A and B are shown apart, each in its own frame.
Chain A
Amino acid sequence: MKERGLGLVAMVMAGFSALRRYPGLALAIYLVQLGASALVGIAVTALVGAALGAYPILDRAAGGDPVALAGVIAEHPMIVAGAGAMVMVATVAYGLVSWFLYGGLIAVYRDEPRGRRVVAETFGRGGAATYLAYARLFALSAVGYVAVAIVFGVSMSAAGPRLFAALTTGEVIAAVLLGVGPAAVVLAVLWLIIDYARIDISRGAGVLRAAAHAVRMVFTSWRPAAFALLYYGAFAAVTAAAWWLFDQSVATAAGFAAIIAGRQIVSGVRFCARLVLIAGEVAYAEEQLPLAPAQTDD
């Protein structure tokens, strides 16, 4: 039986096409993300500078001396906890903002408006219209996150002794795969369902119907999973390459400037890949059977 909907290549093409069509929108959203994370950077700089800026051990820790870093962490756990809390709060806050950004972006990619003003209006209207529904979707997805946690707990309890007793790198990898792999797969599937449910909500479906339809879309064809896999592969490859390329240069002042620029290139590439994923998913969902006219079920 021939599968309905776009093929994998067409999804990729549709993704890149949307990214090319709305570069300003992409840049604007990226700047929101950059701004939020930059605030974290500034706050952590101020915190660490005020508490530890007078002590040379901080220079050694920043220069890659792990013993100095361990000393700073052990002797000043509250500074580390404070910095961690800042990262966490900013990430959660951005996550809440992201619901609006998702709604707006999907609306633009679906409606394909022309002109800066119309794009902005479509984006704003789409984000506002779906925000609360996305919040309800998040609440519904808690069931999925609980499942992820259970799978993680079970697989880690099985993998823990293997990891502890691993004598070779292969055994370490096998144990990590056993411990993390199942939960990672369940999490990826959950996120995929959420992606398609968001698109359906944007098309007017209620949360439950959208979620059910998304489950059907995800499990009746290999293409959504394969397309998402491409994205995760790209994300991991770019992150790993950046780690390998930039990790050594942190110790010098010139390296510091290079690493800031390098990290933004990496983040930009990953961000574009994410937009390609969303646009491709929108294109794929649009090709599926139309949803029944019911507007709400929740």
Chain B
Amino acid sequence: MKRAWIFFLAMVAGCGGGLPAPATKPLPKVDGHPALLTPGVRSPRIASYRIEASFDPAPDKRRIVGKLLLTWKNAGTAAVTKLPFHLYMNAFKNADTVFMRESRGHFRTARANDNGWGWIKVSTIRINGGDDVRAEAKFVGDEGPGSSLPRDETVLEVPLATPIAGGQTATIAMTFEVKLPIVWARTGMKGAFAMAGQWFPKIGVRTGEPGTMTWECAPFHAMSEFFADFGTYDVTLTVPDTHVVAATGVLVAAEDLPGPTRRLTYHAEDVHDFAWMADPYMERIAGQAKTALGEVEVVVFARPAQRAFARRHLAAGIGAIESYSALYAPYPWSKMTIIDPPPDAMAAGGMEYPTLVTTAADHALAKPGFRLPEFVTVHEVGHNWFQGMLASNEVEDAWLDEGINTYTNQVVMEKLYGPGWLDGYGLHTTRMDLAGAMVPDTSVVPIATPSYGFPTSTDYGLLTYFQTGRALLTLENLVGRDRFRKAMGEYARAFAFTHPRPEDFFSSLEKSLGQDLDWFVKPAFFQRGRVGLEVRDITCKKRKAGGQRCDIDVANTGTVPVPFEVKIELADGSTLEKTADGKNFWHRFSVDVNAPVALAILDPDHKIMLNDNATERARHATRRGGAARRFGAGAQNVAQTAMQVLGL
């Protein structure tokens, strides 16, 4: 008996499987193609980086030591007297940072690890080859003198002894050292897996009209992502020769060094970030996506246990590139890298960087057909348009990339996999429909709220992603699918490789559609916009002349005045269709009919995706007992089973 128990426990404990010791990998072949599919400069290339970094993955080190040379152009007309830099990794320095205070140590499903703090230290700063000015640089933030809170260290401001005049270019040389956290909030190490995102000092962005430009360089907030200028990146990584490495851009040089290390050099153009992954166990599979500009090499990195998922991610990645390219603008880069983190490092998953994304959702329950893994890949790859190319400010206007991308995900997933792409466990639906049913909008702020202004991460996620997606799908259904998609494509092409703002988006749509959208946009995006369609009452009276006079009272309890259709079913099986123009939030339809009204359905084709009143949207004239009896029978069965388990 005792032996049986020991065997059982050993079986259960051992199911995770062990990984072999890391072995030396063959030197990777360089990519034999340029970073862009076709030559030419796509973006203003304001901030270009040359970085040399070495990586020590030892568990007690988790260290990156590097130096960078930034070439930065003052695109404005006024002189710049200071340079602010994001030191994102300091968000994970201790429990007192802005990020940790706002997140309370939780991010998505992960929790901060007390033994896993990370940080970045900048040792030297030289402007235009001058003296080291590190001592003059200071951390800036909201915590002013006298505050009981310690100073956040995610923004370092460098005062300039000599201002940089408008139109002038400066070089900034820095040396820095990073300790990666235990994987957390998109970045860090878990076991042998390392994901380096937001790992180097990164200059802020000057925004506004020339002459009145100001710096955008917010501290790292828990619910915000990133904002940076376009440029070129030439990054040399010195890594152990046991590790497989993947990075933004293309591999242009690889050489083994004396000792168990190698040097890999990557080059990327017209991107605004650079991320990389190192892991001794990853495998690589590849395919091609066809676009109007040529074939894009799509590569997925995953461990052997995730091989089946890697194939699904590859197909989804190829489908996403081809679909987004057709909808908006061809993918301009020659390569797309998709990292599938190990399951225990999923905190690094589901994040976008230019030409490199991390995916997620590999799980036994995500059987083929239940396409959550594919969805994550499509979403992250889609970010190469909505924020990779249309580099909106994710701190101030997060919905502008996340929401538009979520809208497009719905379009692309349906195109690739059909309308019931979430298929399994009794479901045959889409993620947006399911989420719409499960998470009614109870938030108290509008969609157009800065990412740090949301009360909770649930509000942020609901509004920034789903509510924006639903609003755009509603608008698409109201103005017509083809017209709307054409307008979206025109926006994408007009603002590619710029930093669009919400007003750019809406004015572009209005121009393309040739109509004013204020009636919808203002309440839906800038107020607490929602739609609540409701059949309030159905009454019928017999007429002396014969037949029935029926009144159907309908209401929109929300704030967005949308027109909607009404389908009226009569007791004799015939139907009537009416339309409410939506200008009033209450409407009575009076109809003279031969048989009484049996059922009224508002928005029968589910065009008003913003509607968050699924129940009262349709109503029988009289109560029916069948469904309630089934629920009652179910409750009886649950109660009886519970009684049998807990009682006699």
Contact = CB atoms under 8 A, between A and B. Distances in A.
Interface of A: 29, 33-34, 36-38, 40-46, 48-50, 52-59, 61-64, 66-68, 70-76, 83, 86-87, 90-91, 94-95, 97-98, 101-102, 105, 161-162, 164-172, 174-175, 177-178, 181, 222, 235, 239, 250, 253, 256, 259-260, 263, 267, 270-271, 274, 278
B623 A34 contact: no
B438 A74 contact: yes
A247 B640 CA distance: 17
Contact of A91 (B15, B344, B362, B639): B639
Interface in B450-490: none
A260 B363 contact: no
B11 interface: yes
A56 B644 contact: no
B627 A59 contact: yes
Nearest to A255: B630
A170 B364 CA distance: 9
B643 A49 contact: no
Contacts of A161: 344
B566 to A, nearest CB: 14
Contacts of A239: 641
Contact of B437 (A33, A55, A71, A259): A71
Contacts of A175: 15
Nearest to B644: A270
B639 A167 contact: no
A222 B439 CA distance: 50
B438 A70 contact: yes
A56 B625 CA distance: 11
Contacts of A44: 631-632, 635-636
A67 B437 contact: yes
- The size class of the interface chain B forms with chain A is 35 or more
A250 B614 CA distance: 23
B149 interface: no
B615 interface: yes
Given A45-B628, A166-B363, 6 more contacts: A33-B647, A56-B619, A98-B643, A165-B363, A167-B309, A181-B12
A165 B343 contact: yes
Given A48-B631, A166-B343, A263 B637 contact: yes
A37 B364 contact: no
Interface centre among B306, B344, B439, B642 (most CB of A within 10 A): B642
Contacts of B637: 37, 263, 267
Contacts of B365: 172
11 contacts: A36-B643, A37-B643, A54-B623, A57-B615, A76-B615, A87-B638, A164-B346, A167-B343, A168-B364, A171-B15, A172-B364
Contacts of B516: none
Quick one: which of A44, A102, A178, A260 has the most chain B CB within 10 A? Answer: A44
Contacts of A94: 643, 647
Given A68-B614, A74-B438, A239-B641, A56 B647 contact: no
Interface of B: 1, 11-13, 15-16, 109, 305-306, 309, 342-344, 346, 362-365, 425-427, 429, 433-434, 437-440, 599, 601, 613-620, 622-633, 635-644, 646-648
A34 B343 CA distance: 46
Contacts of A50: 623
Given A41-B636, A44-B631, A86-B635, A164 B109 contact: yes
Contacts of A177: 12
A37 B647 CA distance: 12
B614 A57 contact: yes
Contacts of B623: 49-50, 53-54
Nearest to A83: B635
B635 A166 contact: no
Contacts of A33: 640, 643-644, 647-648
A55 B620 contact: yes
B640 A49 contact: no
Contacts of B640: 33-34, 37, 263, 267
Q: Which 3 A-B pairs have the closest CB atoms?
A: A45-B632, A41-B636, A165-B343
Given A57-B618, A172-B364, A256 B599 contact: no
A105 B648 CA distance: 10
A66 to B, nearest CB: 5
Contact of B628 (A29, A52, A222): A52
A118 B626 CA distance: 45
Contacts of B425: 66
A68 B346 CA distance: 31
A152 B145 CA distance: 49
A44 B629 CA distance: 8
Nearest to B637: A263
B443 to A, nearest CB: 14
Nearest to B109: A164
Given A36-B643, A56-B620, A70-B437, A167 B625 contact: no
Contacts of A40: 635-636, 639
Contact of B429 (A67, A74, A97): A67
Contacts of A259: 633
A66 B648 CA distance: 33
Nearest to B425: A66
Contacts of B617: 57
B643 A253 contact: no
Nearest to A79: B631
A49 B624 CA distance: 7
A90 B638 CA distance: 11
Contact of A166 (B364, B426, B631, B641): B364
